[in-house]
Amino acid sequence: MTKPKVLISDKMDPNAARIFEERGCDVDVITGETPEELAARIGDYDGLAIRSSTKVTAAILDAATNLKVIGRAGIGVDNVDIPAASAKGVVVMNTPFGNSITTAEHAIAMIFALARQIPEANTRTQAGEWPKNAFMGVEVTGKTLGLIGAGNIGSIVAARAQGVRMKVIAYDPFLTPERAVEIGVEKVNLDDLLARADFITLHTPLTDETRNILSRENLAKTKQGVRIVNCARGGLIDEEALGDLLDSGHIAGAALDVFKTEPAKGSPLFGKPNFICTPHLGASTTEAQVNVALQVAEQMADYLVNGGVTNALNMPSLSAEEAPKLKPYMKLAESLGSLVGQLAHGNLTSIAIEREGAAAELSGKPIEGAVLAGLMRQYSDTVNMVNAPFLAKERGLDVRSIRHQREGAYNTLLRVTVGTENGDRSVAGTLFGSDAPRLVEIFGVRIEAELTGHMLYIVNEDAPGFIGRIGSLLGEAGINIGTFHLGRRETGGEAVLLLSVDQPIPESVVKQACALQDVKLVKPLAF
Ligand SMILES: NC(=O)c1ccc[n+]([C@@H]2O[C@H](COP(=O)([O-])OP(=O)(O)OC[C@H]3O[C@@H](n4cnc5c(N)ncnc54)[C@H](O)[C@@H]3O)[C@@H](O)[C@H]2O)c1
Ligand SMILES: O=C(O)CC[C@@H](O)C(=O)O
């Protein structure tokens, strides 16, 4: 088997390259390329490991003909066009926890730097001024810290701030009352936070809801003398309004690690005495960079080599432990999806995926992704588990996953039912042993067959002599039959024949089969 190839395109701790190699991937480290250079190179790679400098745009993804996974060594993925990646079937992963402590510590450092004006005092002292009377700081003890966003980083900031005896209030619409109690913060609304906080720190992603959350209007609602820290994302604060309120003295100080436009090389905030900044250093500690490099390489290699999915933003997680258990189900699910896709006529309006017995104990989402991939392959060559759910949604397909606790005739069973304008059509399959997928029912007829390679599906009237006739036809056409499976609704009723053959069946032979006595339908299949 050829080794998966990974490109590391941003400066990353060398542990990442080592892990990729140890896990069986070939790895190249090529940083600092222009988008055009990256686009010209990316077609060779199965994986792309990045930090924040590489911008994975739709144009890069268009050129990424082999790409299967993008791994962000860090949290924010605003430099990746996730909808475009999903549409191309590329998994996007991040490392949501590896740099949280480090970034929270940076926010705390900014709070202290602002409270005691350390950067400016340092500069002027080293300039020989000894400006002892120019600086009067504030204590943080007893002050109110307002968190906007109380997720991973916000809650670590809360714990550290409580350690220095600050009172912590938080605005986060997704923070449950129980979690607020657990992390010891008072949950408040945004106006309340703006009115009460002596220090405000931001810890949300940049979304349509959070963009400009500290707008001119909201900044004006803050307490006189407030100090503001942003180590989350540029774009959360109106930088121009911030500058005006720093000048007017309404805001006593501001510390930014992140800017609306990065690299920020000429902000109007620069040079203001009560403004301090760092060049997006929130995650820049040795510990955090080792953490995220190790994690991203482990996760990406796990996906490329074993199919395990961790911390994906556009696909359900699948542990490396669960991945091998799910593997035969994925094959079964994809074959069943493919079978209904090939056989159901008319517009598909809905699909139901039922799991029973042992299958009911497994994660439903990956199985759903595999069924949809099999089904949608009728419409697109580039479909896979990542983009199939998006394609299905685009086509307006109503997708339902159902988990049954009932005992059935099989230890484990998957049933796929599609709704068409001609009614519902359903197929079902099981695993023989622990890993051999088998079809067990097709449109209400019991039949046992392995869905593999080229097959021929025939519906006929159950009558003597038919099997001989179809055998002779295929034999005369030089087509070798591999396996032969029969099922019927009732004696003398409708019968189903499913046979595997060693080569594609020519159209002329299909036509001859259609013309045989008692035949109602002939359909070549491919898996
Ligand atoms: N400066 C850096 O180098 C650096 C390093 C790491 C992370 N970050 C950034 O820090 C931010 C927070 O990271 P995290 O790991 O804590 O993320 P997280 O997802 O754990 O937490 C984000 C929190 O924001 C909340 N939120 C979402 N929408 C909101 C809204 N409209 N109003 C208020 N709260 C809202 C969410 O409920 C969640 O609790 C991210 O933007 C991340 O990219 C920056
Ligand atoms: O990689 C970096 O240095 C920045 C990381 C940070 O912005 C993140 O979102 O994880």
CA-nearest residue for atom 7, ligand 2, is 76
CB contact at 8 A, 185 and 150: yes
CB contact at 8 A, 390 and 84: no
pLDDT of residue 114: 98
d(CA 96, CA 269): 30
Say if ligand 1 is within 6 A of residue 171 CB.
Answer: yes
Say if ligand 2 is within 6 A of residue 75 CB.
Answer: yes
ipTM of the complex: 0.99
pLDDT of residue 260: 96
3-state SS string over 384-401? CCCCHHHHHHHCCCEEEE
267 has pLDDT over 80: yes
CA-nearest residue for atom 7, ligand 1, is 75
Say if ligand 1 is within 6 A of residue 75 CB.
Answer: yes
Say if ligand 1 is within 6 A of residue 212 CB.
Answer: no
pLDDT of residue 403: 96
Q: Determine the distance separating the centroid of ligand 2 and the alpha carbon of 77, expressed in angstroms.
A: 9
Task: Outline where 344-449 has alpha helix (H).
Answer: 364-376, 388-394
Average pLDDT of the segment spanning 323-329: 88
pLDDT in tens, 270-298: 999 999 999 999 999 999 999 999 999 99
pLDDT of residue 502: 94
Residue 292 CA: which ligand is closest? Answer: 2
Confidence of residue 381 (pLDDT cuts 50, 70, 90): confident
Domains in the chain, please, with CATH? 5-97+287-314 (3.40.50.720), 100-277 (3.40.50.720), 316-451 (3.30.1330.90), 452-527 (3.30.70.260)
Average pLDDT of the segment spanning 454-462: 94
Six-digit token string for 488: 């019927």
Residues assigned a catalytic role? 233, 262, 280
pLDDT of residue 504: 94
Confidence of residue 362 (pLDDT cuts 50, 70, 90): very high
pLDDT of residue 453: 95
pLDDT of residue 515: 95
Confidence of residue 68 (pLDDT cuts 50, 70, 90): very high
pLDDT in tens, 176-223: 999 999 999 999 999 999 999 999 999 999 988 999 999 999 999 999
pLDDT in tens, 131-154: 999 999 999 999 999 999 999 999
The pTM of the full predicted model, rounded to 2 decimals, is: 0.80
Residues in CB range of 440: below 8 A, 6 or more apart: 410, 413, 428, 429, 430, 446, 447, 448
Six-digit token string for 332: 């079964």
Nearest to 455 by CA among 521, 522, 508: 522
Number of the ligand 2 atom closest to the C-alpha atom of 233: 7
> What does DSSP say about strands 5-8 and 69-72: parallel, antiparallel, or unpaired?
unpaired
CA-nearest residue for atom 44, ligand 1, is 232
pLDDT of residue 317: 80
319 has pLDDT over 80: no
CA-nearest residue for atom 10, ligand 1, is 232
pLDDT in tens, 504-526: 999 999 999 999 999 999 999 99
Say if ligand 2 is within 6 A of residue 369 CB.
Answer: no
Number of the ligand 2 atom closest to the C-alpha atom of 258: 7
433 has pLDDT over 90: no
d(CA 271, CA 208): 30
pLDDT of residue 209: 92
| Sheet with 494-501, side-by-side order of all strands | 481-488, 494-501, 454-461, 519-526
Q: Determine the distance separating the centroid of ligand 2 and the alpha carbon of 55, expressed in angstroms.
A: 13
Q: What is the mean pLDDT of the chain?
A: 95
Confidence of residue 50 (pLDDT cuts 50, 70, 90): very high
pLDDT of residue 308: 87
d(CA 103, CA 280): 10
